[in-house]
Amino acid sequence: MEFYWTEAQIRKVGTAGTAAMVERWKSLSSGNLGVEIPIILASRYSSKNLTIAQRPGQVNVTEFLLCEDRPTLAVLLEEFGKRGPVFDEVLFTHELAHRIVSLDGFSAIGTADTQWHLAGGALYSLAQHSPILTLQRTNGIDGRPIFDKRASEIIRGYVEQVGLCGIYNVGADAITIADDILHASPELSEQLINRVLPAVPQIRTIAEEVVDCAKNYDLLDPDENLLFLRDAVQRIAPAVAWVEASGADAVKMEVAGLIDTQNLEGEPRSEIDDGDDEDDSK
């Protein structure tokens, strides 16, 4: 890791909300994992897993890695370091919140099926977004602009006919649009429903199924969140083998792999995708 910000540097530029979320992570990691895991902020290009060849497009994600021989949670952002270190508080707390929510009782779902792997990651991510927006709001941070930005890009792509999302497959694209229908501002959601979906029938079927399914559950409740995930995967891909894990177990496996394998910085560590390594800013 060539260049990164430490927690002290992050606190210096972040609001009290950021500081509170950093503390929340540290207390949850200490309680769940038996070790307090520090946080750093770095460019996504500092990860060996996230080269342009491996992950084209904009990538914002978190990874566990060894930093000065300590297991560390690295928040890896696309823009950080591109034109000097820029602190994007909304994006930083969004990515951090995925890990907080995982340790706070929410479950993960995923599959090794090649056709549905990306979609599974996107669905897991989608299910966490309601608790994440609430957590950010509680800490005085409005997380919605991330969804509005992506929804606007999807709508613009449709209007200009340059293609829809374009870098995934049907399942992952559909879940990405469903995610924005559920979490972007109402006027953008409406445009996705009324202008974009009618033009893409295959995507429409899956997206509408997921949006409809989400309305039956309180996604802020960890138990109902898992029931949503189970229901959604049965609706969209019943023949696929889906694997469940508690979010805490998924994180534990990642961290254990890190400690056991020493110096494998940048190696993949989890079967369950955290769902956040897709195109842009989620």
Q: Which residue is nearest to Zn ion (CB)?
A: 282
Distance between CA atoms of residues 233 and 123, nearest Å: 9
Going by their DSSP bridges, the two strands 70-77 and 39-43 should be labelled as parallel
Nearest distance in Å: CB 276, Zn ion = 5
Residue 19 token pair: 């500081």
CB closer to Zn ion out of 7 and 276: 276
The enclosing H or E element of 77 equals strand 70-77
Q: Least distance to Zn ion from the beta carbon of 95, Å?
A: 7
Q: Residue 10 to residues 40, 133, 250: CA-CA distances in angstroms?
A: 8, 20, 26
Q: How far is the CB of 88 from Zn ion (least distance, A)?
A: 14
Nearer Cβ to Zn ion (44/282): 282
**Nearer residue to Zn ion within complex by CB, 265 or 278:** 278
Residues that bind Zn ion (CB under 5 A): 125, 276, 282
Name the minimum Å distance from CB 144 to Zn ion: 12
133 or 255: CB nearest Zn ion: 133
Do 79 and 73 touch, CB atoms closer than 8 A? no
- Minimum Å gap between C-beta 223 and Zn ion is 21
Helix axes 89-103, 16-33, angle to 10 degrees: 30
Give the nearer residue to Zn ion in terms of CB position, either 95 or 265.
95
Contact call for residues 117 and 111 (beta carbons, < 8 A) = yes
